[in-house]
Amino acid sequence: MSLLKLDGIHHSYFTQTTATTALSDISLDIEEGEFVSFLGPSGCGKTTLLSIIAGLIKPTEGTVMLEGQSVQESVNKIGYMLQQDYLFPWKSIEENILLGLKIGGTLKSSKIEYAKSLLEQMGLKGFETQYPKQLSGGMRQRVALVRTLATEPKLLMLDEPFSALDYQTKLKLEDLVSDTLKSYGKTAILVTHDIGEAIAMSDRIFLFSARPGKLHRTFLVPDELRKLTPFNARNHETYSVLFQKVWKELESLESREEH
C-alpha cells in the first residue's frame, strides 16, 4: 500500500467576480521512503496542492489518504516546511525547534533529546540560546528543518525551501537535507521550479501544467543518479540528458499556453 494516495483532486477558489479552478483531476500515489518533486511553472497550484495534502484546505472534490486515513484526521503525521524559514523571532532557537512538540503536547525528554541531536547533526550545536535574528539565512533554514523533523512526521513537504538562499548555500543544503532524509528513511515531497534541483534530489518528478493545475507527466530519475548526493548527481552525464528532456517538456507546455 502506498503511503500517500491522492484521488481525483479538484479545487476552485471563489471571489465575488471570479471562480478560478486551481487544480483539476489530480491523482497520484507516493510510496514510503520515496523522495518526489512537484515541478511546474508558477500558477500551477503547487502550493495549493501542498495545503490540501497537509489538511489545511479541504479540496472541492477528491480525497487525500495518508496510510489509509483521511489527512483531516491524522494530526502531526505531516511536516510542512515553507519557502522562508518563518522562525518565530521572539523565541530562542531551542524554543523554536521544540514548538511542534509543545503544540502537540508531546514535550517529553526523549523527544527533546532527539530534536537536539538533529540540531547537532545540522551543525548548529551551541546555538540553542540564540535568537533567529543572529543566524544567517542558511542556518535559519536548517533550524526550520529541525523544527519540522522534530515531531517525526511520516511525510515531509518542502515548499521551495532553498529558493531564498544564495547558490552556494543552496547546494550545500540540498546535500544535507537529502542525506538527513535518507538516513531516517523519510518520505518527502519537494515543490520547486528549479529543474536541476528536482533531478538532483528526487526519485520521481511530477510535472504540472498551469491554469488549471494538472498533472502533465511523470519522470523517473534513473538509479545511477538516485544513489549519488545531489551535488554529485549534478555532475553526472545522465543528469544533463534528463535535464534536456524535462526542459523540452516544460517549453512545449509554455508554447501550448501561448497559442
Partner 1 sequence: MSPEKNTKLLHQQYIESLKIEKRWVRFYQLVIFLVFFVGWEVASQKQWINPLIFSSPSKVWTLFLEKIQDGTLLTNLGFTLTETVFGFILGTLLGTILAAILWWSPILSKILDPYLVILNAMPKVALGPILIVALGPTFTSIVAMGAIISVIITTIVVYTSFKEVDPNYLKVLQTFGATRLQCFKEAILPASFPTIISTLKVNVGLSWVGVIVGEFLVSSKGLGYMIIYGFQVFNFTLVLLALLVIAVFATIMYQLVELLERKLIKDGS
Query: Which residues of the chain form contacts with partner 1 (CB under 8 A)?
Result: 54, 56, 75-76, 78-80, 82, 84, 86, 88-90, 92, 99-100, 102-104, 130-134, 151
Rounded to an integer, what distance in angstroms lies between the CA atom of residue 118 and that of residue 172? Answer: 17
Rounded to an integer, what distance in angstroms lies between the CA atom of residue 66 and that of residue 54? Answer: 10
Rounded to an integer, what distance in angstroms lies between the CA atom of residue 29 and that of residue 134? Answer: 41
What is the secondary structure of 143-194 as a DSSP string?
A: HHHHHHHTT--SEEEEESTTTTS-HHHHHHHHHHHHHHHHHHT-EEEEEES-
Q: Find the shortest distance in angstroms from Cβ 207 to partner 1.
A: 26
Closest CA to 118 of 148, 138, 162: 148
Q: Find the shortest distance in angstroms from Cβ 202 to partner 1.
A: 21
Residue 102 or residue 108: which is nearer to partner 1 going by CB?
Answer: 102
- The answer to whether 26 and 6 have CB atoms below 8 angstroms apart is yes
Closest CA to 4 of 69, 51, 56, 75: 69
For residue 180, give the amino acid letter. Answer: T
- The answer to whether 189 and 32 have CB atoms below 8 angstroms apart is no
Residue 147 or residue 170: which is nearer to partner 1 going by CB?
Answer: 147
- The answer to whether 2 and 65 have CB atoms below 8 angstroms apart is no
Written as nine digits, the cell of 13 is 477558489
Residue 90 or residue 184: which is nearer to partner 1 going by CB?
Answer: 90
